[in-house]
Chain A
């Protein structure tokens, strides 16, 4: 055995990789509940790839055959129903895990220096995952698949001048059609999975370069013993492998419970309107994306003309104010004035539809800038003041409520007093304010002293 290992090590860095990334990769010993979601995300990625391969064996990317081939998997292929449920439930849980994983970052400052690149790669994974899920959702060619794709691709038409041409280019036709289905299939089964796997790889490479953060936000590499091992670090293997096995098992129990007892999850994971084939003559009564897109969908729908004009007016004043008060040089002032001018011109020339798309786009783009928006001297929420704690709470509540409102008609009253669209506008403001005001409230927030070593038990 030892001989074989030596033989391999002379030709391939097996022991080296094993040690560097598992047996001698030192992770902080104080990981808590929130630190399970990274490995769980990896597990679900593998689940999606494996079940996806087996679905591809029987699926037909053809507008005339797609719906039938999915039912063929459900009815005729041995165990096909299980494989498909694993894939569809897996997709929903993937997003649940990713959202919790990102929330962990906000809690403990995992995006802060020196982990900015990990955060950026992670956000890119999130964007790629959204594209992957969106294209995959068209493949069953149900009525909701069809109209969902139709609506979202139509967003491109909001772009002035090139919009219509761009939407047609994406679809490969004047409407969503066989050509669209075929190319989405190509993106869904090979192009985006390759991108995702590559991004996950660099996400982990960057993580292992700087080391993991922890619930105290303390850099364990600053306190090392004589051998150069962090005092608060423990080898990932065996300590975190055995711990992750526990987390994985609990997750698998949740996963299996949904697959076997509620695979449609009351129409949330598999929508009722997707049990009839795409019908170009009949739009479902409520076009609602799957739950993981609804927060962003809500922001898109919130962009009425009045709302966007109000928003832009506020933004213009803010930028102009910044130009007036900033201590920076002439160039910064000039930039601010130019931006303000562009916003004012845009407000009067561009339609609300485009501003909705811009708003939805910025809600995602802002995530990338988080490492630089956060000016707090501490990382972890444990040592932050009440300002950040309240901001984060309000932000998460708004995000969840945006998601809820995204599933409802904009004109109905699902919460209290006001129409859904009004609430959605309010929560959109909160969402944007969380990011835009972050440099201010994190800077003036009262923080507690951070301990030298991590707290454990």
Chain B
């Protein structure tokens, strides 16, 4: 073993080249393993859009359906409920739905809906993921105080939302409830999970 006449530069270059190409190889080899942890075809099929018939949903009533394993609330709001919405503005964290991640562009309005009377909202509290329950009764009878304007109440940590799923001030939840992508296939048939004409979600 002798080190006479060793071209150190060449040796360094070849070492770096081997390490470089080898690292590329390791990254390529690791990719399938990382990707295999994504939702599988089964999970994606279970998460496919669901079509809901709302023709039987009466005024002032709520329907709970599952989409991607999460509860989706569909509420047929009365005129009285809709009228109260604008009065809530000073009590709310984000009354004008400024946080874009919480709703698709077509729900960026007072009703947070495509059609004012029909609310489609994800029943997942933005605090820690509990399912808020409906508290549509107004006033003291609701048990939430005499000035309660009706909405949703989360039992886990006491977060409150109004009838558009907008979060009230001074509760643990930071954001308005999520509005999922949805579309009307007919007047009474809603597709949840897709808002494009093409079926792919």
Judge A-B direct contact (beta carbons within 8 Å). Answer: yes
Query: A57 vs B32: C-alpha distance in the bound complex, in angstroms?
Result: 14
Chain B, residue nearest A234 (CB): B1
Q: Is the C-beta of B142 less than 8 angstroms from some C-beta in chain A?
A: no
Q: Is the CB of B36 within 8 A of A77?
A: yes
Chain A, residue nearest B43 (CB): A76
How many A residues touch the partner, as a band?
10 to 19
Neighbouring A residues of B41 by C-beta, 8 Å: 75-77
Neighbouring A residues of B33 by C-beta, 8 Å: 50, 54, 79, 83
Q: A397-420 CB contact bits vs B (8 Å, 1 = yes)?
A: 000000000000000000000000
Q: Is the CB of A82 within 8 A of B40?
A: no
Q: Is the C-beta of B18 less than 8 angstroms from some C-beta in chain A?
A: yes
Chain B, residue nearest A238 (CB): B15
The tally of residues in B whose CB lies under 8 Å from a CB in A reads 12
Given A72-B42, A75-B41, residue A54 in contact with residue B36 (CB < 8 A): yes
Min distance, Cβ A317 to any Cβ of chain B, angstroms:
57
Q: Is the CB of A83 within 8 A of B40?
A: no
Chain B, residue nearest A252 (CB): B25
Q: Is the CB of A57 within 8 A of B42?
A: no
CB-contact partner of A78 in B1, B18, B38, under 8 A: B38
Q: Is the CB of B35 within 8 A of A78?
A: yes
Q: A71-89 CB contact bits vs B (8 Å, 1 = yes)?
A: 0100111111011000000
Given A50-B33, A54-B33, residue A77 in contact with residue B40 (CB < 8 A): yes
Min distance, Cβ A304 to any Cβ of chain B, angstroms:
49
Min distance, Cβ B113 to any Cβ of chain A, angstroms:
35
Min distance, Cβ B29 to any Cβ of chain A, angstroms:
9
Q: Is the CB of B42 within 8 A of A76?
A: yes
Min distance, Cβ B188 to any Cβ of chain A, angstroms:
34
Pick from A54, A79, A80 the residue with the most CB of B within 10 Å: A79
Q: Is the CB of A83 within 8 A of B42?
A: no
Residues of B within 8 A of A (CB): 1, 18, 22, 32-33, 35-38, 40-42
Contact sample, A vs B, 17 pairs, CB 8 Å cutoff: A50-B33, A54-B33, A57-B37, A58-B40, A76-B40, A76-B41, A76-B42, A77-B36, A78-B35, A78-B36, A78-B38, A80-B36, A82-B32, A83-B32, A83-B33, A242-B18, A245-B22
Q: Which 5 A-B pairs have the closest CB atoms?
A: A79-B32, A76-B41, A76-B40, A77-B40, A79-B36
Residues of A within 8 A of B (CB): 50, 54, 57-58, 72, 75-80, 82-83, 234, 242, 245
